[in-house]
Amino acid sequence: MTPLEPEVKVATQWVFYALHTRDGTCESGCGISQAHVAEIVFGVEIVEWDLCSSCLSRTGFLEYFNALPSATPRETEEVKILLGLSNEAFERQNRAAPSIS
């Protein structure tokens, strides 16, 4: 898992989960860096939460997530676009960011 490439899995025909790391803190308050999880339902409703790997493991979500089949490349790209994680979005973000010299 990298910040640029989320792992996307299919729960049902209309429910996808995306998991990727990013800087920040766990919402549980444990203070550890976080994993970002997004649940996409029908491509419209997006539920997101930020928890560290330990807290995600305690919920049982990682075991569930790892048991799901991987999304197709097309589905993965659609999910990345919905979440603003597409390569195009990163390219726009990098062009807009001021350079540090």
Strands (E), 34-76: 34-41, 45-51
Residues 6+ apart with CB under 8 A from 18: 6, 7, 8, 37, 38, 40, 79, 80, 83, 85
Cβ atoms of 8 and 16 closer than 8 Å: yes
Per-residue pLDDT of the chain (101 residues; tens, 9 = 90+): 444 467 888 888 788 888 877 777 788 888 777 777 777 776 667 787 888 878 888 888 888 888 999 999 998 888 888 888 765 544 554 455 444 44
Token couple for 64: 């569930």
Distance CA 35, CA 22 (A): 6
Distance CA 55, CA 71 (A): 24
Give the strands of the sheet with 7-12, arranged side by side: 7-12, 15-22, 34-41, 45-51
